[in-house]
Structure 1
């Protein structure tokens, strides 16, 4: 079955989708994006994702390309055309097409919008949850505003490639003070020796993940204590559990870091409880 995409007012075959060579997203990574999970023909946590999109656009001063209701309509149509019941929908907004110049175009040009979608096999995710993943630590060399969800992801690309070459599935960024920030494409959590669920505060050093936010609601419902604080690599390696969260991974256990086994080397009960309860708490918007 052919895939379809939305590009600046047109639904086109995915293989034929293209943007102008002077689109500022292509030239400068002058763009932001969002990824939403689709589960059982529902978009998960759509309102929070679009709230974050609005914040990202505001932080880099891009005018939204259309009202929210119209954008949601496009997302639904892309999902329907691609027959996605379980998978993901991706949207990217750039500052638009203009002559190459570092400063903003004058007069302001219309923002560009691309929306794509694809199916993902729930059985593949289930196998990862059951086995857990391996990770490696890398120095955090990203820019100082990773709280803005921009497409400027080259450090993340290089970090995850390093992880792949080491036989791992995720890279864990570590700041100059030796504290963990987050994963290459995920937020990171530990269950400390006291049984508290700990994650880095959502300052400029990490992305305020939507799954991260909903997970806090889940933890509150389950009566699990959550603490936002910095923690070191050493504390992470001694934790009772380590797991990562993201829109398409939800809550994925990490069983080995830098070749060191975490706890007993198997996914822990806290991650399991959170994953089991997650979709009962998360917002679900029908396609």
Structure 2
């Protein structure tokens, strides 16, 4: 449970933390966020997360609220104050508070809102889930056309996750108008086809450039594992030998059922297990 939250220069008890009622993140989803894994009290892939944060902010013309070094200090203080050894740290930047109107406020009239919180994750439960694998449900991708920007505009993902949960699945895989899987509601999607080829969709406006995805590419390079970056269909996924997702919250998480159909033999595949075991050997750790 989060005990201390950073909001605009103050470290506050969870129950007392809040933002202005006319904050544009609250009213328009005019905001960017990042989620970093915390492993052994250390930030995982901080540099790549900060790179993506800056890029997303730039795409929406929201200024970076402070230097990257200062942001890093806040992340670390929030992790320490919440005594998180294994878990996640969440950072959100909004355009700030202004009288409700659709156009951007005039330059210099608002200051970005910055929120940061950290939460523990039960590592044993996460490993147990990885041992058994998860189920996913496919859903139409109804999101906007710039999914490469990590905005807080997550209602389509919420609806997809809710539908997946109602069907006994732990993640939703989103399907575009051509019948190809784009990505998970909160993850990137991967399969190993019948021939043993590892496949994932290439980055672009249709998917988020996942930091965990990028670090897994480093693992593939180290292990000399070839990868084909192309869209794949729902039928291809269901008939695959293996499937998995990547995310900061689960690293490499095996998928063993899609739409109720077992993938491969219904257990996490050998390549998926190998990649999960090697993942943290290729990431950046920082305290």
What is the TM-score when the length of structure 2 is the normalising length? 0.98
Q: Secondary structure at the match of 1:177?
A: coil
**SS of residue matched to 1:211:** helix
Q: What is the root-mean-square deviation in Å for CA atoms of aligned residues?
A: 0.9
Partner in structure 1 of residue 197 of structure 2: 196
Contact 2:88 2:249 survives alignment (8 Å):
yes
Pair 1:267-2:268 in alignment = yes
Partners of 1:82 and 1:118 within 8 A in 2: yes
Given the two structures, how large is their TM-score scaled by the length of structure 1? Answer: 0.98
Alpha carbons of structure 1 residues 69 and 192: separation in structure 2 relative to 1, 3 Å: same
Contact residue 49 and residue 210 of structure 1 kept, 8 A? yes
- In 1, Cα distance between equivalents of 2:241 and 2:151: 33
Deviation of 1:107 (Å): 3.6
For residues 101-122 of structure 1, the C-alpha deviation after alignment (integer angstroms, 9 at most, x for no partner) is 1001114311110000011111
| Aligned equivalents of 1:215, 1:2: Cα separation in 2 | 29
Runs of 4 or more, structure 1, over 4 Å off, are none
The superposition leaves residues 23-73 of structure 1 with CA deviations (integer Å, 9 ceiling, x where unpaired) of 000000000000000001110000000000000000000000000000000
Distance 1:198 1:2, change over 3 A: closer
Partner in structure 2 of residue 279 of structure 1: 280
> C-alpha distance in 2, partners of 1:51/1:161?
31
- Secondary structure at the counterpart of residue 47 of structure 1: helix
Matched residues in 2 for 1:165 and 1:233: separation?
Answer: 20
**2:67 equivalent to 1:72:** no
More displaced 10-residue stretch of structure 1: 103-112 or 175-184? 103-112
Deviation, structure 1 residue 2: 6.9
The 3-state SS of whatever aligns with 1:104 is coil
The answer to whether the Cα contact below 8 Å between 2:190 and 2:200 also exists between their aligned partners in 1 is yes
Q: Any idea what SS the aligned residue of 2:160 has?
A: helix
Measured in 1, the distance between the counterparts of 2:28 and 2:205 equals 21
- Residues 7-18 of structure 1: pairs in structure 2 closer than 5 A: 7-18=7-18
Corresponding residue for 1:170? 171
What are the ranges of 5 or more consecutive residues in structure 2 without an aligned counterpart? none
Cross-structure match for 1:149:
150
Q: Distance in 2 between matches of 1:29 and 1:237?
A: 34
Report how many residues are paired: 286
Q: Distance in 1 between matches of 2:276 and 2:260?
A: 25
Matches within 5 A, 1:1-287: 3-108=3-108, 109-286=110-287
Aligned residues of 1:255 and 1:261 also touching (Cα < 8 A): yes
